[in-house]
Amino acid sequence: MKEFISLKTIQERMAQDLSVGRSNEATVRRLWWAALDTLQQDILMPMNHTHGIWLSAPLPALYEPKLLTNLKGWVWTPHQLATLNPNKSFFLLPSNPDNTNLRNNIFSTNDYRHLPLNIEDGDDPLLILLTSHIQIALTLYGPPNQRSLIVRNDQKTIKDILSMINLRLCRETTLDANELQVEISKHILLDNNPELEKGFWPLLSSRLATMAPSLSLQTIPDNNPKEDENSSQNGEISILEAITHEVRTPLATIRTLIRSLLRRKDLDKLVINRLKQIDSECTEQIDRFGLIFNAAELQRQKPEKSRLASTDLGRMLTMLQPSWTELLDRRGIKLALEITPELPLVLSDPERLELMLGGLIDRSTRGLKPGGSLALELRPAGNKLKLQIVSKSVGTKTKHSTFSKQSSELGAVLSWDPNTGSLQLSHSATQKLLASLGGRMAHRRDSVLTIFFPLAEEKS
């Protein structure tokens, strides 16, 4: 019988020749999530990988939709999840090609194979990612109070890890081992990239520097008012970024588990509908806190105008309409969309604009009661496109106020609306975020929210 290789054995190989860690569990977990953010947002996303594979435990470590779409995955999961698909076949979920960018499309995630997680494997997270340009393995390792984040990308360690994984899969199922070897030979040419390690740790340090180490507040002595004010604002921004991260992470995990359940074919229709509702609610809050994070991050730096690109705003609104309609239908609000045909392209950032528009829709309807309506109109306005968002209360022609006069500013980013009992982006933060996307917001007292976008031809 072939020797069983646990994930702990693989993690021990990764820790070979490295010094003992000094972190506690809370610190090392924060390092882990920051490392995942760094790898995905700062390294992988800008490289626009189209092929590759990833393996993780005990849950999917990747969360960026583009990466999940382009990279094939294997996930060691607890027995309860591993048995959701008894045939252990790839999850090939249909995707509407016209709605591939919609966050609310529960069938847009990539297929990945469940692999059984054994008791001997432990519960320390592990991620191995292989593309034509990047080969890297991350894990947490060590006894209590001697924990450390381990990141390896040297060729020898990666080869040893893959050999150990191959032996494990051969013991469990030859089919999985063969398919994994085929994927490696198809897409991956193992080659140590020394620039990856040089860039990873500085990027991770920069990301950690913007995260609050804890959510406790301390009073600052009033020695220098200006310095105290800047320090207070930076502390507020750091706390906001930490909170949004801590909220989005478990919600993303819950959404992943929900989508795993939705792949079953033996669920009752009522259960499926409830799971879809939970998925939608998770996505809505993930996007909402993502928008707050973007606004907080913008307070630290000037917007990068070079990121703006030609954007088909009319097509974007048309693609987003079904998900917005589904969201508003749950609230009993009607949505109307009017777009002038054959509109020119505008200059914006498509990915961040999609999130921003969803936030404006949510804000414009947050205080509406069932029976209200929301109208979106996109039409030319000189050398710009004009997007108007008009919300009306039920049974009246009175226009609903998007930015309530009773809202209280809670700093540079957030405001509190007592009418809805919810936190929202402040008026100034919304204006600044839209400006970073190429838009200029004009909000009149009649509650019509108007945004002007420059035409792509006017870039010069």
What span, in angstroms and rounded, lies between the C-alpha atoms of 198 and 16? Answer: 20
DSSP annotation string for 191-237: ---HHHHHHHHHHHHHHHHTS-S-S---PPP-S-HHHHHHHHHHHHH
In this structure, what token pair is assigned to residue 422?
A: 């919810």
Positive or negative CA dihedral for 33, 37, 38, 39?
positive
In this structure, what token pair is assigned to residue 158?
A: 């990666």
Separation of CA 212 from chain center: 19
- The pTM of the full predicted model, rounded to 2 decimals, is 0.54
CATH number of the domain at 306-459, out of 3.30.565.10, 3.40.50.620, 3.40.50.150, 3.40.50.12500? 3.30.565.10
In this structure, what token pair is assigned to residue 197?
A: 């390690």
Burial of 211 (0-12, 13-18, 19+ CB in 10 A): middle
Q: Hey, what long-range contacts does 105-110 have (CB within 8 A, 24 or more apart)?
A: 105/323, 106/259, 106/262, 106/276, 106/279, 108/65, 108/69, 109/65, 109/68, 109/69, 109/259, 110/68, 110/69, 110/70, 110/71, 110/72, 110/73
In this structure, what token pair is assigned to residue 75?
A: 């996930």
- Whose CA is closest to 294, among 359, 217, 362, 367? 359
Q: Domain residues of the chain, as ranges?
A: 7-209, 225-298, 306-459
In this structure, what token pair is assigned to residue 195?
A: 């620039």
For residue 51, what are the CA distances in angstroms to 70, 130, 154, 297?
A: 6, 9, 20, 30
pLDDT tens-place values along the chain, 460 residues long = 457 899 999 999 999 999 888 888 878 888 888 898 899 888 888 887 778 899 998 877 887 777 888 888 888 877 655 444 433 332 322 223 233 333 333 333 345 677 888 888 988 999 999 988 888 999 999 998 899 999 998 889 998 999 899 888 887 776 767 777 777 776 556 666 777 877 888 888 877 766 544 333 333 344 444 444 454 556 567 667 667 766 777 788 788 788 878 888 888 889 898 898 888 888 888 888 888 888 887 876 665 555 788 999 999 999 999 989 988 988 899 999 999 999 999 999 888 898 899 989 988 888 788 888 999 999 999 889 999 998 888 766 555 556 655 566 767 787 776 666 667 788 888 888 899 899 998 866 556 789 999 998 754 4
Angle between helix 427-436 and helix 269-298 axes, rounded to 10 deg = 90
Triad 245, 131, 161: Cα angle to 5°: 90
* Largest CA-CA distance found in the chain, in angstroms, rounded: 77
Output phi, psi for 139, to 5 deg: -160, 165
What span, in angstroms and rounded, lies between the C-alpha atoms of 52 and 48? Answer: 11
Q: Are 346 and 313 in contact (CB under 8 A)?
A: yes
